[in-house]
Amino acid sequence: LPSPTHQIDIKKKQHCEASPVGTTVATNATLSTPLTIIALDNDVEEVSLPPTGIGARDPQLHFSLDSYSHVFSISTTGIRRYLMLLQPVDRETQDSYTFTLLASDGVQQSAPVIVTITVLDANDNTPTFSNVSYSVNLFTDMLPGETVIQMSAVDSDAGENGQISYRILAGGQGKFLINSSTGVITVAPGAELTVGRSYALTVEAADNGPAPHRRSSITTVYIEVLPPNNQSPPRFPRQQYNLEISEAMRTGATLLNLQAVDREKDPITYKIHSGDINGNFALSGYLILDKPLDRESLDHYILIVTASDGRPDGTSTAVVNVVVTDVNDNDPVFNSSLPVNLSVTEEQNNAFVGHIMATDLDLGANGQVHYRLVNHQTLFSINASGAIRTAVPLDREVRESHYFLVVEASDGAVDPRRSRLTLSVTVLDVDDNSPIFSQQSYNVNLPENSPKDTVILQLKVSLRLEKHFGTCRTFGNSVNKNLLKLKFTSFPCKVSFTDMNDFAPSFRQPVYRGMVAPNAVKGTIVTTVMANDSDPAGTPAGLIRYKVDQEAYPYSASIFDVDKEKGHVVTRVNLNEEPNLKFRLVVVAYDHGEPAKENTTLVEITVLQPSVIPVFTREEYRFPPVSEEAAVGTPVGIIMAAAVNQTIVYSIVEGNEGGVFLLNKTTGEISTAKPLDYETNSSYVLKVEADSMRVVSSNLRAPSKSNTARVLIDVQDENDHPPVFTRSLYIGGVGEDAKTFTSVLQVQAVDKDTGNYSSMVYRLIIPPPTGKETKDSKDGFVIEPYTGVVKTAIMYRNMRRSYFKFEVAATDNYGQGHSSRAEIVVSVVNQLDMQVVVLNVPPTYVEKNKDQFILERYVQEQVVGAKVVVETIGPHRDGEAMELEDYTKSDLMIYAIDPLTNRAISRQELFKFLDGKLLDINKEFQPFLPPGGRILEIRTPEVVASVKKAVHSVGYTEGALLALAVIIIICCVPAILIVIITYRQRQAECAKTARIQMALPTGKPGGGTANNLYEELGDNEFLSALHASLVSCLSLICLHIPINMRAIHMQDGENYLQMTSGCVFVSAHVK
């Protein structure tokens, strides 16, 4: 038979990654021309295909894909077939698909056609900054045009969709400019930077996609202006660099310009501080490749580079992310654990022989492995996954019983690398040769009541096989159902009598009737027959199957068939019959009993007039999207079919699981029958059918090409879900010495809705302080509205053991929709509340994997709901003054907050909780640490240790000062008493003198009258001098006491405050 042939050449086609499921693959970049696949079979009909395809007969070919059949499918009917999408594709994950297409008529196959589908980019990725915020320090003497920082965002899309433009949205105040293409922020011309000023720039990164689909993201740059720095360290132009290099790059090549700028023009020394574990790079202002790279060994480097001018504080750092790209330098390697000695049973087509697997360490197409058979291609086949099967039934008596099969694995590069593997395949024997009895017939008389295990007959057979197989069969009936013992040469057999096949299948009705369209396609269900069997269910005698009696009505049997299990009477071919013809078909129902029994029924099939069969106005209906908030009964759209002088009845035959939609049988209007939910199902595909009232009244159906159609209904998302915070309570901590705009914690709310309806805007709800006016109070925290990062807004010095409690609100639809709230508690801590966890791994490794190192569970075993906060991650500090830094180890500064008190757990308790579980913690962290990595110890921070030393060092000097203060106080008490007595005596004398002067005659010389007697006598100066001396004395005493108490202040601030206030009280009392 001539094999099916493709009429067009298929090479490279287009498809957009944003296309929904069911979209047809197109042949051009504008997706306006669908890909048409035409295959003809000359056995069906010799045709000259007209441009419209009308009049050509569908050959009913089956198309198959050798791979990606879960992603693409081909329409099942018609001369013109279309390639459709089964599941969404993502260009950033895979940008092209290549597979082989075959057409088959069930006997022969067409020549293979290679199809390559290119996935076109859709703007489905948002530009993303590496950090949610940035902090920069500037100096007042910076010149206009000098670089502040370079922003960098990444967009995985291609073309204009991946090109990023930058701009400053707010906060610049005319002081700063940004280059829209490079992202470099510079000082604006004429800008004057003032010491102490801070700026918060909102920077947007937007792609250059089409305006309706353009995407953007924002970040915040915090800038603090400092005084001029005449000894500033060298500065790299950027804080982070990203670099891609091929693993085939030659050594000595210059990779990147990392030259730093020193304001004082000092000589600069460059160094790779960490990340270059194999010494592949060298740095001298330029990053140079010093040793060859191997992507398969290490494909990513994070280099920490430094630039120093030799001063103690004259070093700055930058991060260089190096990604090593792949070249095709590895051969496919077969999996040695899989067996190479295989076996297969003879006389089986498409039998599984074995499975091989090869891997290629390269990436992309260089790492995609393809298989082929070098020899015996006509006997065996191998698919894309490496499964080997027989291509034809094997016969070990005719062909060979052993094969050496050579399999070749190659990668997908343009110039592929190859490997070969030889497999040993043994063909196993089956009982495919009949045994020969020693005589033609045997006559045995068996008494009715013969006892159990009676030997009836001994049979001898000769087998022309290498192995002997015996089959025991009994012929005739046994009333008592005794066991018979048959012996084959040396093989005795016992046979048990089972239930006899007592009942034949019985059809439910003697005649079945059906109707069919004159142009019904192959596989159309005409009617269904059903039969019952009274034998026990689950036994062979009770198992019913159906078949067509080929001899009763040969022509009818050639165009109709019956499903052997379900009883569906279907068309075997595409019909092309005259209307009003009637066909008769005899269907047989048979069981599998011994002996088998059967029964028959008659099926009468009428070919309808074309005018009786309605014709839809469209093959596919797509209505406007329906809101998920639409009320039950909301109209969706109207389908319409036409027929001559017929009343049309519409019905939904597929896709309406759950009865979500209702179809008016007479008007064709589709409406909602149940509430819709976009999050449960965003689209529906219904198959509808239109039949005439004549067909429906007969309780029959007559599906055809013209009276069935597809209805596509999309559900429109609405903002019907409020945001939900990931936690109802967020607990965080902030240090006493934290600067403004320090990140404290990040909140997150999620929304089941999509698009803008799931985009959040966060805001804080902070109650005003008690007793203060709102306009004078300042909130202690701010939140970045789009990221949910909570930051400090004030300083918290001397506020240890305080806490702040407020709420955060999240509003979807960019602040215009639903809202929800959560609580935030922030506790103020310092190093007195902290412990240091020391690990023997570098801090860069710990920073990268910090989300895996969770200590909360061990603290929560003692304090329910406790929150453990990692304050800092840095190099291990050692030495007497903790001045030495060891970058091979890490120090994690941590503290824990008790949710009941909202304050930090004491460091002594924290140490007790963690140190006792150190063995369990190391065991849990082992999968996330490099070999040998572990927690070495948990220790007290160096500041707390130094405080303890200061307290213990209160010795002779402080004791002497305290004793001196006591002596001075004791000596001052008598002096004060003497002064008070003297003052009272002097006061009495002054009063007496005043009375004498008043008694003198007027005008008698006695000197001028004083306005104030005490002032004349000098008491004012006396009292002033006395007061000054006492204050000076007591000030001297008070001066020594707080100096002596400073160590105590650090350990117990309450004691210090009491001592100081006592000193003030004494001074006020003397006054």
Rounded Cα distance, 311 and 230, in Å:
12
Same domain, 140 and 109: no
Q: Is residue 445 part of a domain?
A: no
pLDDT at residue 1038, as a whole number: 43
CA distances from 459 to 437, 453, 456, 483 (A): 8, 16, 10, 17
Same domain, 202 and 216: yes
SS3 call for 184: strand
Examine the fold and report which residue of 179, 206, 229 is the final residue of a domain before the chain moves on. 229
pLDDT of 1021 > 80? The answer is no
Which has more pLDDT, 192 or 820?
820
Q: Is residue 446 part of a domain?
A: no
Q: Is residue 582 part of a domain?
A: yes
Q: Is residue 440 part of a domain?
A: no
Q: CB of 513 within 8 A of CB of 527?
A: yes
The number of distinct structural domains making up the chain is 10
**Domain that residue 396 falls in:** 333-428
Rounded Cα distance, 121 and 17, in Å:
6
**Tokens matching residue 675:** 């509430």
Which has more pLDDT, 662 or 646?
662
924, exposed or middle or buried, with CB in 10 Å at 0-12, 13-18, 19+? middle
Span 653-687, pLDDT tens digits? 899 988 999 999 989 999 999 999 998 899 999 99
Angle of CA points 382, 89, 709, to nearest 5°: 95
Same domain, 711 and 776: no
pLDDT of 54 > 80? The answer is no
Window from 233-242, 509-518, 829-838, 972-981 with minimum mean pLDDT:
972-981
Rounded Cα distance, 480 and 721, in Å:
74
pLDDT of 1019 > 60? The answer is no
pLDDT at residue 222, as a whole number: 93
pLDDT of 769 > 90? The answer is no
pLDDT at residue 473, as a whole number: 44
Rounded Cα distance, 662 and 798, in Å:
70
**Tokens matching residue 763:** 């805001």
Kindly indicate the confidence band of residue 976, based on its pLDDT and cuts at 50, 70 and 90: confident
Kindly indicate the confidence band of residue 569, based on its pLDDT and cuts at 50, 70 and 90: very high
pLDDT of 542 > 90? The answer is no
pLDDT of 945 > 80? The answer is no
Same domain, 295 and 239: yes
Rounded Cα distance, 229 and 139, in Å:
7
pLDDT at residue 462, as a whole number: 56
The arithmetic mean of pLDDT across residues 87-100, rounded, is: 86
Kindly indicate the confidence band of residue 867, based on its pLDDT and cuts at 50, 70 and 90: very high
pLDDT of 496 > 70? The answer is no
Same domain, 774 and 874: no
Same domain, 707 and 725: no
Same domain, 157 and 143: yes
Rounded Cα distance, 54 and 41, in Å:
17
Span 426-469, pLDDT tens digits? 988 776 666 666 676 777 766 545 677 777 777 666 554 443 44
Span 356-366, pLDDT tens digits? 999 998 888 88
Which has more pLDDT, 629 or 576?
629
Kindly indicate the confidence band of residue 816, based on its pLDDT and cuts at 50, 70 and 90: very high
Span 94-113, pLDDT tens digits? 888 888 888 887 777 788 88
Element (H, E) at 995: helix 956-999
* Most confident residue range from 23-27, 66-70, 229-233, 628-632: 628-632
pLDDT of 627 > 80? The answer is yes
Helix axes 1019-1044, 1053-1070, angle to 10 degrees: 170
pLDDT at residue 1000, as a whole number: 52
What pTM does this model have?
A: 0.43
Same domain, 76 and 140: no
Kindly indicate the confidence band of residue 483, based on its pLDDT and cuts at 50, 70 and 90: very low
| 26 Cβ contact list (under 8 Å, min separation 6) | 13, 14, 15, 32, 33, 34, 35
Strands 803-811 and 80-85: unpaired
* C-alpha count within 13 angstroms, C-beta hemisphere, residue 731: 19
Q: Is residue 998 part of a domain?
A: no
First-to-final CA distance of the chain: 126
Rounded Cα distance, 996 and 680, in Å:
112
Q: Is residue 170 part of a domain?
A: yes
* C-alpha count within 13 angstroms, C-beta hemisphere, residue 544: 24
Q: CB of 45 within 8 A of CB of 34?
A: no
Same domain, 1059 and 1038: yes
690: CATH: 2.60.40.60
Look at the block and give the residue holding tokens 């001028």: 1008
**Tokens matching residue 1005:** 């010389």
pLDDT of 725 > 90? The answer is yes
Rounded Cα distance, 972 and 413, in Å:
100
Rounded Cα distance, 178 and 155, in Å:
19
Rounded Cα distance, 567 and 562, in Å:
6
Span 582-617, pLDDT tens digits? 899 999 999 988 888 899 999 999 888 777 788 888
Examine the fold and report which residue of 325, 353, 380 is the final residue of a domain before the chain moves on. 325
pLDDT at residue 407, as a whole number: 94
* C-alpha count within 13 angstroms, C-beta hemisphere, residue 1006: 13
Same domain, 133 and 200: yes
Kindly indicate the confidence band of residue 231, based on its pLDDT and cuts at 50, 70 and 90: low
Q: CB of 362 within 8 A of CB of 411?
A: yes
Same domain, 655 and 684: yes
Same domain, 42 and 99: yes
| 474 Cβ contact list (under 8 Å, min separation 6) | 484, 486, 495, 497
pLDDT at residue 949, as a whole number: 55
The DSSP letter of residue 118 is E
pLDDT of 32 > 80? The answer is no
The DSSP letter of residue 509 is S
Span 123-146, pLDDT tens digits? 888 999 988 889 888 888 788 888
Q: Is residue 1003 part of a domain?
A: no
Looking at every residue in the chain, the average pLDDT score rounds to: 80
Q: CB of 166 within 8 A of CB of 151?
A: yes
Window from 732-741, 779-788, 1046-1055 with minimum mean pLDDT:
1046-1055
Q: Give the number of other Cβ atoms within 10 Å of residue 624's Cβ.
A: 10
Examine the fold and report which residue of 120, 141, 173 is the final residue of a domain before the chain moves on. 120
pLDDT at residue 772, as a whole number: 53
Span 879-915, pLDDT tens digits? 776 778 888 899 999 999 999 999 999 989 999 999 8
pLDDT of 701 > 70? The answer is no
Nearest-CA neighbor of 277 among 842, 1034, 684, 1033?
Answer: 842
SS3 call for 214: coil
Q: Give the number of other Cβ atoms within 10 Å of residue 38's Cβ.
A: 16
**Tokens matching residue 342:** 């295989």
What whole-number percentage of the chain has pLDDT above 90?
33
Q: Is residue 549 part of a domain?
A: yes
SS3 call for 268: coil
Kindly indicate the confidence band of residue 495, based on its pLDDT and cuts at 50, 70 and 90: very low
Helix and strand numbers, DSSP H then E, in the chain? 13, 71
| 587 Cβ contact list (under 8 Å, min separation 6) | 512, 529, 546, 547, 548, 549, 562, 567, 569, 600, 601, 602, 603
494-503 — which CB contacts under 8 Å span 24+ positions?
498/539, 499/535, 499/536, 499/539, 499/541, 500/541, 500/593, 500/594, 501/535, 501/541, 501/591, 501/593, 501/594, 501/595, 501/596, 501/597, 502/534, 502/535, 502/541, 503/533, 503/534, 503/535, 503/541, 503/597
303, exposed or middle or buried, with CB in 10 Å at 0-12, 13-18, 19+? buried
pLDDT at residue 461, as a whole number: 61
Nearest-CA neighbor of 236 among 201, 183, 285?
Answer: 285
Span 385-399, pLDDT tens digits? 889 999 888 887 777
SS3 call for 948: helix
| 834 Cβ contact list (under 8 Å, min separation 6) | 871, 893, 894, 895, 907, 941, 944
SS3 call for 988: helix
Residue type, 172: G
Residue type, 1045: M
> Cα–chain-centroid distance for residue 730?
23
pLDDT at residue 143, as a whole number: 84
Q: CB of 44 within 8 A of CB of 576?
A: no
Rounded Cα distance, 406 and 417, in Å:
16
Rounded Cα distance, 103 and 113, in Å:
9
Element (H, E) at 1025: helix 1019-1044
Residue type, 913: F
Q: CB of 279 within 8 A of CB of 313?
A: no
